[in-house]
Amino acid sequence: MAITAQTAAIPDADLEAPAATLTDAPAGAANAGLSEPDTQAMEQMVTQAQAAAAFLKALAHEGRLLILCHLSTGEKSVTELENLLGSRQAAVSQQLARLRLEGLVSCRREGKAIYYSLGDPRAAQTIGLMYEMFCGPSVEPSTEADSPT
């Protein structure tokens, strides 16, 4: 079987530069023709989108997700998290440092032990939703509607 290349007519302008993002445009260019309240709303939306992306990026790691899942059931020491995750202390501490930097967990020291808990209600809500979507009891689709009567 021979494979042939087919090309579609693509305007040269589409090949010259990658698509621009909202933050690439000169100030005011993306908002041309918008009223001041609309411009403020757009800027607010961009700011919120950046915050959401940073939040999701912090969650976008299997180890950090597992830590947050364990912390959703209550406060845990670093040693408890090591045992629950089956990971070395250095790896757990590295992920906890990232979560602390993002404000998703808070910690307290008691003697030599450091205890962690969820520090952001958005993290708790997101982990709850993730649990429902990926870990909760699966619901089988109904086959009654598919069967002929």
How many distinct structural domains can be found in the chain? 1
Query: Does 21 map to a domain?
Result: no
Tens digits of per-residue pLDDT, 62-72? 999 999 999 99
Which H helix or E strand runs over 106? strand 105-110
Tens digits of per-residue pLDDT, 91-108? 999 999 999 999 999 999
8 Å CB contact between 102 and 54: yes
Which H helix or E strand runs over 62? helix 62-71
Query: Does 91 map to a domain?
Result: yes
> To the nearest whole percent, how much of the chain has pLDDT over 70?
69
Residue 111's CATH number: 1.10.10.10
For residues 51-70, average pLDDT: 94
Query: Does 71 map to a domain?
Result: yes
Most confident of the ranges 24-28, 69-73, 143-147: 69-73
Is the predicted pLDDT of residue 36 greater than 90, yes or no?
no
Is the predicted pLDDT of residue 74 greater than 70, yes or no?
yes
The per-residue pLDDT for 96 is 97
Query: Does 26 map to a domain?
Result: no
Which pTM value belongs to this model?
0.65
Cα–Cα distance for residue pair 146/99, rounded to 1 Å: 46
Query: Does 108 map to a domain?
Result: yes
Range of the domain at 75: 60-133
Place of tokens 């906890």: 96
Tens digits of per-residue pLDDT, 41-51? 999 999 999 99
